[in-house]
Structure 1
């Protein structure tokens, strides 16, 4: 997501020379490269030109204070303009006090509506809500099955009427069912079409009128670039939706549509989807995204993602085991599972300040290598007996190590290294507090992955 733009902006900003005042001479080449970076990232030419003009007007003649360099001032101005272009601030999803709140999901076929619907349900489930998914796509073969398969993984119920071709009946009965079963949020996954046409618009307008949703979200495929913007513009003439969802952003390194769609259409982006996992969904924060584009990371989102996955109560139990020298391989395996739930390594790394310069993290082979390393650790632990997992000290036996090496397919030398590091870390963790303990576990995993 935004890889191409990140790298080109970074290169453009490194061109800037001078120390005291920004002039047309020392900024011209930088602005030229920034405009080129925006256009190459699928930003509309007119928007790119206006963007550059605003940056130029706000920077020319500015005297740089002693503690700053021209590059740092330009970064701040570019950051401010990016935030403005993307909508200035995040707009929260509308959840009413009535039960249930109704969220209507619409969009073209293949935009990722069904996958997003399940992700949104999981998003609310983690916030202690009781969501109900409604299968209202009566046209696409296996649409109901797809939604059910996605929802079953996280135990979210799906309402559907088998064989029914009356979408209004499905929606109205789902609301009655939700009230009866105490579901406080309904997410309606509607049918998509190959293009916006009268039949599609008539149906979605009828659904809108029958259920009076609190929120209507229009899902667009981020990989379609400027076509996504055109689709949203046409659709907005027929239905007054509340916000936009950009999907498949992990498949496009440009991201021009995500940057400009709000300013063109006048509707906020409320969510972005950047992966295949059910947890790969983010609230869209223009300021945080601008930080990522400029290589400054997004620590707030990173911390939020970690907090979602790490259970405070479970962490305290782990600390208690550490303090009593009872931390074992089953506990380590659980920590690995928690870390994997945080999300795709590439997306997580992009949230860390300064990560733009660490090219190997953005290399697909390097990212896959890290995933493989985690699998190797899991393979070692899975090759142990339940007794061995609970009693790490018993693994100094050569015969046990050879058996684990054979079972996991990992060389004995690597098994030795892993066990030695584990025992060293365990000794160290006895003397520290819970938060530091968790950090050392993460550092240990990081050292193994190298």
Structure 2
């Protein structure tokens, strides 16, 4: 998300961050560029107006004139105003209620509501250690009920059965009653979506809300609809007392207009964002971290949290111990590393959270996409056990066989073996005194210029 805005703002702010002094004129030019960047990102016009006004008032005021490096202070102001526009801090779900805490999900058809119910259930179960029951009150789409049942089994939470002959209110109240008897902490109620906001839908969802009185009413909306997402959320909020928003499909949204418009237009916080199709692809929405990402400063905190959650520490410890004992790093170990990275959303998802990554050339980014990882896994899977243990035996005829088995070219086999050899050398450097320092030096040689050792933007 925010690729277009990040690129445009990055160029604009780079020009001004080095200025020794700011004048009305150069601030005016920069703000015009910022305004255009926001409009191109499909940010709602009232949001753009307010943002530019706030930045201008602060930039031409005391804050900047008394500063030793006005250009850098200007960037700081832009960052703080971005945070403010998106809500300043992450707002967690309020689950402090007599169990079960009821959370109702609303939204239009196709926004990813049912998938978001499963993602949220997984999040609450794994990160908040809550017992969760999910139920579908969507009596218009039998497929939605079945989909939720399948997803509930996948994320290992309780599913309350329902069918299209029942009334939504009866379904939800029966599920809550069941949760009370079973001492379940949270009930997530999936509701019917429509193709557009209509009076019938609103009446039905109002009745449901009144009957179950949820502690949280979350509006699920597709980020790719841009500022329309904010307008739809506003229409729902006029009918329902929304407590927050889940922004879905942010991985496919290059603009970011929805994220920057929703809080301003609805007054409701974005609580989560969906960052992919997997059931673990749901992240709490942190405005400060998102503002950093927009300005190319990275989001290292989110990356650390992701590593903590998704990396198999036991497996990593086994590989490290093996390397330290001199047993070597094999292609099987390499394949395991690739799987771990895939679990974290792939290399680009990780790199996006590092400072300065927006400066990477497109050619380099292309080599780090999911496609490359899938191809590498396919190549290793096409090798025999002996070849994975002793890659040095992979010569001409073996390479042709592996290429045919993985649907790749011999050049790709050579490229993977070269990368693996470099990785092996780095692992060897980890042994002995100062091993980690040596390994980092080795990595620096493998990466494109500017990716290590101060390659990030100098604000």
Same fold (TM over 0.5): yes
Q: Report which stretch shifted further, 425-434 or 92-101.
A: 425-434
CA contact (8 A) 1:275 1:344 kept: no
Q: Which residue of 2 aligns with 1:336?
A: 338
Residue-by-residue CA offset, 1:182-204 (whole Å, 9 max, x unaligned): 64332211111233334323332
Secondary structure in structure 1 of the residue aligned to 2:345: coil
Q: TM-score, normalised by structure 2?
A: 0.84
In structure 2, relative to structure 1, the CA distance for the partners of 1:423 and 1:274 (3 Å cut) is: closer
Cα distance in 2 between the residues matched to 1:407 and 1:296: 42
Residue-by-residue CA offset, 1:62-110 (whole Å, 9 max, x unaligned): 33644x3x43221111111111111111111112364333211111222
Q: Which residue of 2 aligns with 1:236?
A: 237
TM-superposed deviation, 1:410:
4.3
Secondary structure in structure 2 of the residue aligned to 1:106: strand
Secondary structure in structure 1 of the residue aligned to 2:109: coil
Q: Which residue of 1 aligns with 2:59?
A: 59
Cα distance in 2 between the residues matched to 1:275 and 1:176: 33
Q: Report which stretch shifted further, 120-129 or 14-23.
A: 14-23
Residue-by-residue CA offset, 1:129-188 (whole Å, 9 max, x unaligned): 433321221112411122234444444443222444222222233234445556433221
Q: Report which stretch shifted further, 158-167 or 26-35.
A: 158-167
Q: Which residue of 2 aligns with 1:126?
A: 126
In structure 2, relative to structure 1, the CA distance for the partners of 1:377 and 1:56 (3 Å cut) is: same
Q: TM-score, normalised by structure 1?
A: 0.86
Does 2:90 match 1:90?
yes
Structure 2 unaligned blocks of 5 or more = 449-459
In structure 2, relative to structure 1, the CA distance for the partners of 1:108 and 1:124 (3 Å cut) is: same
Matched residues, number: 439
What does 1:347-362 align with in structure 2 at a 5 Å threshold?
Answer: 347-360=349-362
CA contact (8 A) 1:346 1:362 kept: no
TM-superposed deviation, 1:25:
2.1
In structure 2, relative to structure 1, the CA distance for the partners of 1:65 and 1:385 (3 Å cut) is: same
Q: Work out which of the residue numbers 418, 426, 429 in structure 1 matches 2:427.
A: 429
Does 2:216 match 1:218?
no
Q: Which residue of 1 aligns with 2:48?
A: 48
Q: Considering only aligned residues, what root-mean-square deviation do their CA atoms show, in Å? A: 3.3
Secondary structure in structure 1 of the residue aligned to 2:369: helix
Q: Report which stretch shifted further, 2-11 or 283-292.
A: 2-11
Residue-by-residue CA offset, 1:392-425 (whole Å, 9 max, x unaligned): 3684677655543443344556545544653564
Cα distance in 2 between the residues matched to 1:35 and 1:292: 18
TM-superposed deviation, 1:35:
1.5
Secondary structure in structure 2 of the residue aligned to 1:270: strand
Q: Report which stretch shifted further, 124-133 or 403-412.
A: 403-412
Cα distance in 2 between the residues matched to 1:199 and 1:283: 32
Cα distance in 2 between the residues matched to 1:300 and 1:255: 20
Cα distance in 1 between the residues matched to 2:447 and 2:31: 41
Q: Which residue of 1 aligns with 2:377?
A: 378
Q: Report which stretch shifted further, 121-130 or 175-184.
A: 175-184
Q: Report which stretch shifted further, 201-210 or 109-118.
A: 201-210
CA contact (8 A) 1:20 1:63 kept: no
Q: Report which stretch shifted further, 270-279 or 95-104.
A: 95-104
Secondary structure in structure 1 of the residue aligned to 2:65: coil
CA contact (8 A) 1:88 1:286 kept: yes
Q: Which residue of 1 aligns with 2:110?
A: 110
Cα distance in 1 between the residues matched to 2:298 and 2:415: 33
Residue-by-residue CA offset, 1:232-259 (whole Å, 9 max, x unaligned): 2222222212111122233332222311
TM-superposed deviation, 1:122:
2.2
In structure 2, relative to structure 1, the CA distance for the partners of 1:15 and 1:87 (3 Å cut) is: same
TM-superposed deviation, 1:278:
2.4
